[in-house]
Amino acid sequence: MFPRLFCMSLLMMKDQDKIYWKSFEELTQDPRYLELAQREFMEEDDGSDFFTLSRRKFLKLLGASVALATTACRRPVHKIFPYVRQPETLKPGVAQYYASTFALNNHSYGILVKTIEGRPIKIEGNPDHPLSLGSASTFAQASILELYDPDRKRKPTIGNKSVSWDEWNKEIISLLKEGGNKQIRLLTESITSPTLRSTIEKFIKKFPNTKWYEYEPISQETARQSYQHAFGRPNIPKFHLEKADILLSINADILGGRLDSNALLRQWANKRKITSPKDTLNRLYVAESYFSLTGSNADHRLALKPSELLLFSLQLAKLLVYRFNLSTDSNIRSLLKSVPDENSSSYKKEFLGALAHDLSKNRGKSLVLVGEQESLELQIVGHFINSLLQSYGTTIDTKISTASFNNGFNSLKSLTQEMEQGKVDILITVGGNIAYQTDSKINDLFKKIPHHIRLSLYNDETTALSHYAAPLSHDLESWGDSQPETGMISLIQPTIQPLHDSRSLGEVLMSWIHEEGWLTELKTYWKNHIYSKQPRMASFEAFWEAALHNGVVFEKVTGSHSFTFKPEALHNVMKNLDPRFRGDDTRIELQLHPSYTVYDGRFANIGSLQELPDPVTKVTWDNVASLSPNTAQKLGVKQGDIIEIENKIKLPIFLQPGLADGVITTSLGYGRSKGGEVGIGVGSTVFALGSQFQHAIRVKKLSGHHKIATTQAHHSMEGRPIVLEAPLEEYKHTPDFPKHKTHTPELFSMYEEYPYPGHKWGMAIDLTSCVGCSGCVVACDVENNIPSVGKAQVLKGREMQWMRLDRYYETSLEHDIKTVHQPMLCQHCDNAPCETVCPVAATTHSSEGINQMTYNRCVGTRYCANNCPYKVRRFNYFNFNNSIEYPQELGKNPDVTIRMRGVMEKCTFCIQRISEGKNAAKMRGEPVLDGSIKTACQEACPTEAIIFGDLNDPHSKVSKASKQSHGYHVLEELNVRPAITYLAKIRNPHPKLEKFKI
């Protein structure tokens, strides 16, 4: 049982069986935590940041600050350069949007690229694309920062010598033509472009000794094999979460870790919207061996060791067959009879019983998803359960297949065997980073390759092992296409000329096979293979222009595929069942997973992503060895201690609630040695450990201590009722339950109430829909030119993000740990306490309800930050713009002021977007329409949890949402009158599990 928190607030929640906390230090009331919680700022100033001032000099500067405030209208001096000939379609300062596609691994979706005067500055989701529906993931948002990364490779090189493309191509073509028996191997990332795949086939036809391999460390290879075994075809079907009332995720992380999570999140959230007690919700069960974003949003979550997942799935299948009689096949029943039953009176047994009951009652309306990286056996059992539940043809699409490739370890193994045997004369590696994404043995194999040709975005670890290297163009600089699923093809179009001397893979291949240019090849392919299948338009050019405008073209999909489960697949699972899959309480197991911030390491050089807190651990600038407190006690380690795994990897310890005992989890993508200044030396690489999970590992404690930059203890709630939640049944019985969970005294104001005759901007945030994905945080960073400050400053609590995602654990005296995510930003209070303490009126209230900042009036007293009860103001301790290198300045949003050292900043409700929307409505001669103005965070949110608009408009969505019965204001008892309404989180637990005592 967890200890109760000491109440630091007189206004406590009434339902005392629940305790909310952010970190173990807060939960256990660690003395160091209590000291920091009472400080005005996280770290005491050591005097190194600012000169030590005497009292006399301080008073002089204070007087000068008043004088400076009177000159607040002065603008900084800038030089302007006029166009010699202005482009016809360009209007200075007016944004233009181009439809394009964001592609990563096997998935892609439509985006809109916002450009100002020819410079891409922001990426949004394409609202007309069914896989994005107007939202964009953290990786898509951050790709704009990748475009302007100063560490990108800039010129072709032969050895260490920079050469022109003509010289480089001449050398490569000569090499390819030398001797007809030279064995050429092409290794690429997953390629979803049908045109590029066709071009590669042309290259292979011209050089017939070529073999093509695809490799991704996070692949679909095992998933394809499982479908082949279970159904006789390797294609991976499309899932429909919006049709499922009961969902089970087995290490699948459907709401966070999958690349198609953007679409899945919208589908899932459509079943989590609640506006009245008559509404219903879906129910999400999660069984997993690490604490995923999906697990943090589960109605019920079961923590297991990796080796226990297969037994869990077989026990579930046995319950469905025997207890609920979902199969009468004697062979199936005979196979499952040997599966051991769960021990009595355990939470796992109750979990299995409730889950099986829900699934059996909702045949055709339920869905089981297993992680694509999990074992072949586990995935086959998942397919079997879905066949029992009649999911194929209902929640699983039998017509549409998603893009998938044989791009895993088996593909790589074939290539490395050829390299080891000396059968490869020329190796061409495109993208990816095989030297980093595998163990160190690959480096020795590269020494056996006479000629290694490399095309990459960065001078990374694999580029360092090449003889010939050239820079790849970014997708925002290139033409291309992508097919994420059958019946849908998206276009990629350049939004800026290449910033460096780079080319796309299509351009390079076309020059090697001496054919026409890449754009011509792209249009020819579309004319012959796509246009010919479309309803007739006036001409191909008209079709092409329409495709460019929309960004996506659809093809009619006819017929459906058979998904009849093969019993022999289950027979093979049971026949090959190894005792290791049954779990062992005495050993430590390892679980690896993709990073939520840098993925597999390809985004490691983007500072904003390194500084983006992990949505669960809240760790930045590191990967850590997460383990339960019991496991830590068993190993004799504590937070920050360093351990060594398998005598290969060194990681700091991080205590993580909600993990099964005997499990260590960590994320991929860290420990880069090359590829850019930002990513080098951050964390430790774990690719040397090989497989996604290992059932038994050796762990050794080392000396020393590692400082972990985690934001989870920053801005503590200190026992106050900041997050509110209730089960669905309680909401139906008491729709206004937030009013009964807190006590708010009668409120009085010192100030005369302002009427707000025009607009009154406000926001509503639905905690039931919010999953904590952090897309809003990255969107805010890019939109508002927010800098990353580095690990040292994060350790001091000086992170600069205007929007933070607070993650709270909930410990019930009768239940397991649950999680609540809450976006926290400036509340734009009508009675804002920050405004009254500013000595120079740098922060004021507008006539439309926005708490404004006048940057060149601010003198940096930080009184406002100290007086803000929500702790959402950020102070520039340094001039972070001094570190900007070309071409980073090109990516800055010109509509948002770049802040200097000594200036306070915070959320502005995207005032620049409000002004743009009002001006556009004025030009049209009509009022501002509801939904025509969207903040950056709102636009990026895949679950539509954020609603923004005019509170004075009774018909606006935000006005209606703010009046819902389960809406509340954070710290309402302070009477600061925030403009943001939170809709309390509603869960949908199974009654049997909700009351179960562990």
Domain end position, chosen among 651, 684, 710? 710
Lowest mean pLDDT among 73-77, 601-605, 649-653: 73-77
- Cβ atoms of 72 and 857 closer than 8 Å: yes
Give the residue with greater pLDDT, 47 vs 404. 404
667/732 same-domain check: no
What CATH code is carried by the domain that includes residue 846? 3.30.70.20
User: Nearest CA to 658 among 254, 309, 295?
Assistant: 295
pLDDT of residue 75: 44
% of the chain beyond a pLDDT of 90: 67
Q: What is the pLDDT averaged over residues 535-558?
A: 88
What CATH code is carried by the domain that includes residue 663? 2.40.40.20
Tens of pLDDT, residue by residue over 738-773, are 888 777 777 777 778 888 999 999 999 999 999 999
Say if residue 923's pLDDT is above 80: yes
Tens of pLDDT, residue by residue over 679-732, are 999 999 998 887 665 667 888 999 999 999 988 765 555 557 788 989 999 999
- Cβ atoms of 939 and 134 closer than 8 Å: yes
Across the chain, what does the average pLDDT equal?
Answer: 87
Q: Is residue 964 part of a domain?
A: yes
Tens of pLDDT, residue by residue over 207-222, are 999 999 999 999 999 9
Domain end position, chosen among 401, 419, 440? 401
pLDDT of residue 752: 82
Q: What is the pLDDT averaged over residues 239-249?
A: 95
346/310 same-domain check: yes
Q: What is the pLDDT averaged over residues 109-134?
A: 93
> With b meaning 16 or more CB within 10 Å and e meaning fewer, what string describes 348-383?
bbbbbbbbbbbbbebbebbbbbbbbbbbbbbbbbbb
Domain that holds residue 771: 18-45+714-744+758-987
Say if residue 783's pLDDT is above 70: yes
821/684 same-domain check: no
Give the residue with greater pLDDT, 559 vs 573. 573
Give the residue with greater pLDDT, 948 vs 558. 948
680/787 same-domain check: no
Tens of pLDDT, residue by residue over 312-349, are 999 999 999 999 999 888 889 988 988 888 877 688 89
381/351 same-domain check: yes
Instruction: Name the helix (H) or strand (E) containing 265.
Output: helix 261-270
Say if residue 271's pLDDT is above 60: yes
Beta strand residue intervals within 646-767, DSSP E: 649-655, 663-667, 693-694, 699-705, 709-710, 725-727, 761-766
Say if residue 405's pLDDT is above 90: no
Instruction: Decide: helix, strand or coil at residue 68.
Output: helix
pLDDT of residue 746: 78
Tens of pLDDT, residue by residue over 569-622, are 999 998 877 554 455 567 899 999 999 999 999 999 999 999 999 999 999 999
- In this prediction, residue 562 has a pLDDT band, given cuts at 50, 70 and 90, of confident
% of the chain beyond a pLDDT of 70: 88
- In this prediction, residue 69 has a pLDDT band, given cuts at 50, 70 and 90, of very low
Q: Is residue 206 part of a domain?
A: no
653/725 same-domain check: no
pLDDT of residue 29: 60
Q: Is residue 315 part of a domain?
A: yes
Domain end position, chosen among 344, 376, 401? 401
- In this prediction, residue 890 has a pLDDT band, given cuts at 50, 70 and 90, of very high
Give 892-899's long-range contacts (Cβ < 8 A, gap of 24+): 892/121, 892/785, 893/116, 893/121, 893/122, 893/782, 893/783, 893/784, 893/785, 894/93, 894/116, 894/121, 895/116, 896/783, 896/784, 896/785, 897/785, 897/855, 898/785, 899/785, 899/855
Say if residue 431's pLDDT is above 60: yes
pLDDT of residue 53: 47
Instruction: Name the helix (H) or strand (E) containing 26.
Output: helix 24-27
667/779 same-domain check: no
Distance CA 172, CA 187 (A): 16
Lowest mean pLDDT among 172-181, 394-403, 503-512, 967-976: 172-181
Say if residue 289's pLDDT is above 80: yes
- In this prediction, residue 403 has a pLDDT band, given cuts at 50, 70 and 90, of confident
pLDDT of residue 648: 85
Q: Is residue 963 part of a domain?
A: yes
- In this prediction, residue 813 has a pLDDT band, given cuts at 50, 70 and 90, of very low
Structure tokens that stand for 109 in this block: 């979706």
Give the residue with greater pLDDT, 582 vs 370. 370
Report in angstroms the alpha-carbon separations of 951 from 245, 761, 764, 955, 963: 34, 6, 10, 9, 10
Give the residue with greater pLDDT, 131 vs 91. 131
pLDDT of residue 52: 47
Tens of pLDDT, residue by residue over 9-51, are 333 344 445 666 556 566 556 665 555 555 555 554 444 444 4
User: Nearest CA to 620 among 628, 608, 602?
Assistant: 608
Q: Is residue 945 part of a domain?
A: yes
The number of beta carbons lying within 10 Å of the beta carbon of residue 497 is 8
pLDDT of residue 123: 95
Q: Is residue 34 part of a domain?
A: yes
Q: Is residue 472 part of a domain?
A: no
Residue 655 main-chain phi, psi, to 5 deg: -75, 120
User: Nearest CA to 200 among 32, 430, 500?
Assistant: 430
- Cβ atoms of 791 and 652 closer than 8 Å: no
253/393 same-domain check: yes
User: Nearest CA to 571 among 801, 743, 338, 767?
Assistant: 338
607/655 same-domain check: yes
Say if residue 4's pLDDT is above 70: no
pLDDT of residue 694: 64
For the chain, the C-alpha Rg in angstroms (whole number) is 29
Structure tokens that stand for 915 in this block: 């002004």
pLDDT of residue 688: 84
Distance CA 343, CA 338 (A): 15
pLDDT of residue 70: 43
735/624 same-domain check: no
Say if residue 444's pLDDT is above 70: yes
What does pTM read for this prediction?
Answer: 0.90
> With b meaning 16 or more CB within 10 Å and e meaning fewer, what string describes 848-874?
bbbbebbebbbbbbbbbbeebebebbb
697/839 same-domain check: no
User: How many structural domains does the chain have?
Assistant: 3
Say if residue 869's pLDDT is above 50: yes
Q: Is residue 274 part of a domain?
A: yes
Give the residue with greater pLDDT, 609 vs 72. 609
Structure tokens that stand for 68 in this block: 């400076």
Distance CA 176, CA 748 (A): 82
The residue type at 744: T
Q: What is the pLDDT averaged over residues 668-684?
A: 92
**First-residue to last-residue Cα distance in the chain:** 10
Distance CA 836, CA 976 (A): 12
Say if residue 460's pLDDT is above 60: yes
Q: What is the pLDDT averaged over residues 57-74?
A: 46
841/914 same-domain check: yes
Give the residue with greater pLDDT, 832 vs 6. 832
Distance CA 488, CA 903 (A): 48
User: Nearest CA to 671 among 442, 443, 436?
Assistant: 436
What CATH code is carried by the domain that includes residue 252? 3.40.228.10
Lowest mean pLDDT among 443-447, 638-642, 834-838, 941-945: 443-447
pLDDT of residue 16: 44
